Structure 1
Amino acid sequence: MTRLFNDPTAFADELIDGFVAAHPGHVRPVRGGVVRATRCTSDTVALVIGGGSGHYPAFGGLVGPGIAHGAAMGNLFASPSTQQIVSVARAASNGGGILLSYGNYAGDVLNFDAAEAQLNAEGIPTRTVRVTDDIASAPASEKHRRRGIAGDLTVFKVAGAAAEAGYVLDEVVRVAELANERTRSFGVAFTGCTLPGASEPLFTVPEGRMALGLGIHGEPGIGETDIPSADGLAQLFVEELLAELPEGVASPKGRRVALVLNGLGSVKYEELYVVYGCIARRLQEAGVTIVEPEVGEFCTSFDMAGVSLTLFWLDTELELFWRAGADTPGFRKGLVSPRPRVSAESGVQKKPSSEAVMVPASEESRAAAPRIVAAVDAIAAVIDAHVEELGRIDAVAGDGDHGIGMQRGATAARAAAHAAVEAGAGAGSVLLRAADAWSDRAGGTSGALWGVMLRALGTRIGDEDAPDAHAIAEGAADALAGIRSYGKAEVGDKTMVDAIVPFVETLVARVIDGEQLGDAWDAAAAAATAAAAATADLLPRVGRARPHAEKSLGTPDAGAHSFGLIATAVAATLTRKDFAR
């Protein structure tokens, strides 16, 4: 288990601070992550990678000459926020455009896609390549739904080398896409991992058994078997990966592959080398030539006892870039020429240097703002009270980070709301500030979606008038529309949407019928809570829980459950006389 920490909610921030302090010659801090500490050639493509913390050396440990120019580093097992990604990309930009690359997880897709759109709108050409190497997470017919695990390394390495070689953005994208198409991984686990502050691992494996097809976020495997010998594990890995060859590779015989044997945290190097010897022999028997294999820890999962094998099927161009030199804190290969350091004066501040100008508000709106703050306080309090429960529910088929992510987001929103009121903000601006703080601090899918919801509500309420029941109901409807547009989930997918839809439908209908907001909200909260509980009977159709759908039966969706808790907590802050019709 993870034993050494201070405040679990600050763990990711503190590990980044320590990482930067330990590697000042390689990285420098920026808001949202790290960028290279050395100068880059102007007009070259900048590779910006990222994802949740807890996977070192992914992602910050791969920043340096030969691989990435920057890494956006989110909370534990949670995507970095859109703001973090944009901040890192701006700081990493060399003038030749940005390539964003990351593992294919729902929260990362939401936030990186939003960052890509924002950067392009700012005039910084930006493209994306998602890594989809894990063959256990979806069938070959649905490769686009596969998640990224240790195969991140091969894609990042090749894309970074192409950028170093002077390829333009379109060509770097082409090479990265080809590398992803030719990368396949499969992993196993013997024990789960334990997040800082948690008393139990995210999943367990019976003594003497091995989970098949693990994820790197504590997701349980898709099956179990007895723990084999090292040679038996090598046979499993080779058989699984040779059974699915990428397009253009008709047979393994005579082919050249790069290989990554990855330890996930607790399997020792000595064990990895025993397994590698068996893998090398079996691949040789299949007629495969191994090119510069890598054995070690490249994409971990805290203290998980697990191993994954990645095969990267090479052509001449890909092999050239795989062999190219790299010098990062967590990965070194070949020789890299010395690079001048970036001056300290040119560093990017970790926090914004100034607050945004407060929008003028009417006296009525400012008078209503404390009511909004009371609601945000209630949200933070109910999340604090249920943080462990939310993590436990999420860990059944997901990654277990929902509780701590919601706590970070709600705590940040509370602080931002109080600061906004003290600065004289109106009701709408209080919600807008809370929305930005929530999404930025929480990251992940829930952070992005709660930011969308609060921003939609705040925009509808505005700062001109005191919010009434109709404005709030319309804002809730706007929030639902934003969630559907941004997250793409619908009722029945086993997500937060299953609770939001009945909440909004009930609230809007009752307000239209003339009920006061307090009564209408009570009924809507009850509908959301009942719908959240009913998600226990659903199979997830989207998100990280999808590959483990059957495991989630009998357990409600964590996002829907937290929404029900929040709706109920806010109801207690609404007295019947607060809002007129």
Structure 2
Amino acid sequence: MTRLFNDPAAFADEALEGFAAAHRRWVRPVTGGVVRAGGTPAGQVAVVIGGGSGHYPAFSGLVGRGLAHGAAVGNVFASPSAQQIRSVARAAHAGGGVLLMYGNYAGDVLHFGQAAERLAADGVEARTFAVTDDISSAAPEESAKRRGIAGDLPVFKAAAAAAEQGLPLAEVLAVAERANARTRSFGIAFSGCTLPGADHPLFTVPEARMAVGLGIHGEPGIGEEALPTADEAARLLVTHLLAELPDGVTAPAGERAAVILNGLGSVKYEELFVVYRKVAELLGDAGVEIVDPEVGELVTSFDMAGVSLTLTWLDDRLEELWRAPADTPAYRKGAFGAPEAEAVARPADGTGTVADEPADEALPDASEDSRRAAGTVLAALTAIAGTVDTHVEELGRIDAVAGDGDHGIGMQRGATAARQAATTAYGLGAGAGTVLTRAADAWADKAGGTSGALWGSILRALGTTLGDQEAPSADRVAAGAAEASAAVRRLGGAEVGDRTMVDVLVPFADTLSAATASGLALAEAWDRAAGAAESAAAATAELLPRKGRARPHAEKSLGTPDAGAHSLALITRAVHGVLLPHSPNQH
């Protein structure tokens, strides 16, 4: 378990701070992550990787010559926010464009996509690419739905080595696509990981059993088998990977492969070597030529006891890129020539820390009615933060049934940041709309993950609809809820029945609109809508997930409500308590 921490909510930030302090030769901290200490050579494509904390040496440990130019680092098991990614990418950009690379998880897809859009608006050419190597997470015909696990490394490295050679962005992206198409991974585990501050692991494995086909976020495996010997584990891993060859590889005999035996956190190196001796033997018997194998901890999951095997089937070009030198805090290969000159100026204090971009504190004009309503908005956001604080452990426990267990802490970080941003905006005299939009940006930035992006869109939709000029009427609030419902469905791609927060948000918004249209005052209409939300959240316990990390573990989730749906229902009821004494008379 994770024993050394201060505030669990600050663990990821403090770990990144310590990492940067320990590795000044390679990296310098920027808002949202780290970039190469020497900067990106002028005109070179900047490869920016990223994901949640808890996977070291992914992602920050892979920043340096021959590999990533920067890494955006999110909260524990949660994607970095779009603002964090944008900040790192802007610091890494040197005129050649940016390739944003990440594992294929819903939060990463949302945030990296949003970051690419913002970079484009900044005049920075940006592309995104998701690694999809985990064969246990989807069938071959649905390979685009697969997770990115230890295959992140060979795909990141191929793209970064191509960038190091001076290739343009389109060609670097093409290299990533080819490396990903020829990479497969499969994992097993003997125990789950324990998040900082938690007193139990995210999943457990019965005595003398192992979980098969697991991810890197504490998700349980897709099945269980008897605990194997080291040789039996090696045979299981190799057999699964040789059973699914990529296009262009008709048989393993005569093929070359980059091989990674990856420890997930608490399997000792000696154990890995015992397994690898059999892996090498089995691949040799199959006629596979192993090229520059890697055995060690490369993409971890805190203290999870488990291993994964990755094969990247090489052609001449991919082999050249795999063998290319790299020099990062956690991954080194070969040797470079003379050190590259620094491409960016370092701050005068020598720390290498890049200051945050100055915040725009200018507030839009607001009417007195809207400023008064902003007080109610702040009270609602305070109630939301309090409710999340009360239920944070429960939300984590529900999420851990078939997910990664980070929903509670992510919601806590987001709600706390939103309340703080709202308090500041309200103190400056902002109207209701601006208080909500400032809170939206803070929630999305600090929470990260899928829920951070979605809650950011909910608050922003409400704020945009309410504006800063009019006192919010019941009808306008209902219209804001309807727009929030539509925005979440557009952004996340989920619909009712997928077992997500959408299963609650849609009936809540629909009920609120119908109730206000019938003439009910806001507090009464909200009460009715909150009841619909609570019923819908409870009903998600009988749904099979069709989106997100719980999808590969659908059967495990039956009987437990969706964490995002449950938290939304709790929040709607908390806001109702605020509206009772503040409800406007407008209809």
> Which residue number corresponds to residue 386 of structure 1?
391
Change (3 A) 1:350 1:76: farther
State the Cα distance separating 1:466 from its structure 2 match.
1.4
CA offsets per residue over residues 187-236 of structure 1, 9 Å max, x none? 00000000000111000001111000010000000011111111111111
Is the CA contact (8 Å cut-off) linking 1:519 and 1:576 kept in structure 2?
no
- Cα contact 1:184–1:312 (8 A) shared by 2: yes
Counterpart of 2:121 in structure 1 is 121
- Cα deviation for residue 577 of structure 1 reads 6.0
Amino acid at match of 1:489: A
Are 1:241 and 2:237 matched, yes or no?
Answer: no
Which residue of structure 2 aligns with residue 306 of structure 1? Answer: 306
Query: 1:221-300, aligned counterparts within 5 Å?
Result: 221-300=221-300
**Is structure 2 residue 501 aligned with structure 1 residue 479?**
no
Within 5 A, what are the aligned runs for 1:257-406? 257-337=257-337, 338-341=339-342, 342-345=344-347, 349-406=354-411
Deviations 1:246-303 (A, max 9, x none): 0000110000000010000000000000100010011100000000000000000000
Instruction: Using the TM superposition, give the Cα deviation of residue 40 of structure 1 relative to its aligned residue in structure 2, in angstroms.
Output: 2.8
> Secondary structure of 2:548's match?
coil
Please give the alpha-carbon distance, in whole angstroms, between the structure 2 residues aligned to 1:353 and 1:129. Answer: 30
Distance in 2 (CA, whole Å) between partners of 1:562 and 1:530 is: 13
Which residue is 1:77 aligned to?
77
Structure 1 residue 488, shift from structure 2 partner: 0.7
> For structure 1, which segment, 538-547 or 344-353, has the greater mean C-alpha deviation from structure 2 after superposition?
344-353
Structure 1 contact 134–146 (Cα < 8 Å) conserved: yes
Match of 1:218 in 2: 218
Of 457, 460, 473, the residue aligned with 2:465 is 460
Q: Distance in 1 between matches of 2:355 and 2:179?
A: 33
Matched, 1:538 2:539: no
Kept in 2, the 8 Å contact 1:477–1:504? The answer is: yes
1:41 is matched by which residue type in structure 2?
P
User: C-alpha offsets along residues 68-101 of structure 1, whole Å, 9 cap, x if unaligned?
Assistant: 0011100000011111111111111011111111
- In the other structure, the counterpart of 1:508 is 513
CA contact (8 A) 1:397 1:551 kept: yes
Indicate which of 403, 412, 415 corresponds to 1:407: 412
Query: Deviation of residue 241 (structure 1)?
Result: 0.3
Question: Does 1:55 find its partner at 2:55?
Answer: yes
Q: Structure 1 residue 442: deviation in Å?
A: 0.2
Q: Distance in 2 between matches of 1:85 and 1:350?
A: 15
Structure-2 residue corresponding to 1:440: 445
- The answer as to whether partners of 1:80 and 1:108 remain within 8 angstroms in 2 is yes
Distance in 1, matches of 2:119 and 2:266, equals: 39
- Whether contact under 8 Å (1:29, 1:350) holds in the other structure is no
Give the superposition deviation at 1:348: 6.1
Cα distance in 2 between the residues matched to 1:416 and 1:299: 34
- Name the residue aligned to 2:26: 26
How much has 1:576 moved relative to structure 2? 6.1
Cα displacement (A) at 1:459: 0.5
Q: Could you give the per-residue CA deviations for residues 28-54 of structure 1, whole angstroms, max 9, x where no partner exists?
A: 111111111013321111001000000
Residue 126 of structure 2 aligns with an amino acid whose one-letter code is T
**CA displacement at 1:115 relative to structure 2:** 1.1
Q: 2:95 maps to which residue?
A: 95
- Stretches of structure 1 lacking an aligned partner (at least 5 in a row): none
Partner SS for 1:450: helix
Letter in 2 for 1:291: V
Question: 3-state SS of the aligned residue for 1:129?
Answer: strand
What is the match of residue 204 of structure 1? Answer: 204
Structure 2 distance, partners of 1:356, 1:126, is: 28
- What is the letter of the counterpart of residue 561 of structure 2? P
> How far apart are residue 123 of structure 1 and its match?
2.0
Instruction: Summarize the Cα distance change of 1:350–1:4 in structure 2 as closer, same or farther, 3 Å threshold.
Output: farther
2:410 counterpart SS class: helix
Give unmatched runs, 5+ long, in structure 2: none
- Structure 2 CA distance for aligned equivalents of residues 575 and 232 of structure 1: 63
1:374-431 CA distance string (max 9 Å, x none): 0000000000000000000000000100000000000000000100011110111000
Residue aligning to 1:130: 130
Bigger CA drift: 338-347 or 49-58?
338-347
Does the Cα contact within 8 Å between 1:456 and 1:475 map onto a contact in 2?
Answer: yes
SS in structure 2 of the partner of residue 345 of structure 1: coil
Aligned length: 581
Query: In 2, distance between residues paired with 1:561 and 1:118?
Result: 31
Deviation at 1:359, TM superposition (A): 1.0
Q: Which AA in structure 1 matches 2:199?
A: S
CA distance in 1 between counterparts of 2:358 and 2:171 reads: 36
What's 1:450 paired with?
455
Alpha carbons of structure 1 residues 136 and 282: separation in structure 2 relative to 1, 3 Å: same
- Alpha-carbon distance in 1 for matches of 2:402, 2:470: 45
Partner of 2:532: 527
The secondary structure found in structure 1 opposite 2:320 is helix
Q: Which of 429, 432, 441 matches 1:427? A: 432
If the length of structure 2 is used for normalisation, what is the TM-score? 0.98
Letter in 1 for 2:81: S
Cα deviation code 1:331-350 (max 9, x no counterpart): 00000232334542285635
Provide the alpha-carbon RMSD of the alignment. 1.0
- CA 1:350/1:218 → structure 2, altered by over 3 Å: closer, same or farther? farther
| CA deviation string 1:432-454 (max 9, x = no partner) | 11000000000000000000000
Runs of 4+ in 1 over 4 A off after TM superposition: none
Q: What do the CA deviations read for 1:134-156 (whole angstroms, capped 9, x no partner)?
A: 00000101000000000000000
Aligned letter for 1:486? L
Answer whether contact 2:40 2:92 (CA < 8 A) is retained. Answer: no
Secondary structure of 2:124's counterpart equals: coil
Give the whole-Å Cα distance in 2 for the aligned partners of 1:473 and 1:71. 40
Pairing 1:496–2:498 present: no
Q: Say which SS state the counterpart of residue 57 (structure 2) adopts.
A: coil
Aligned to 1:46: 46
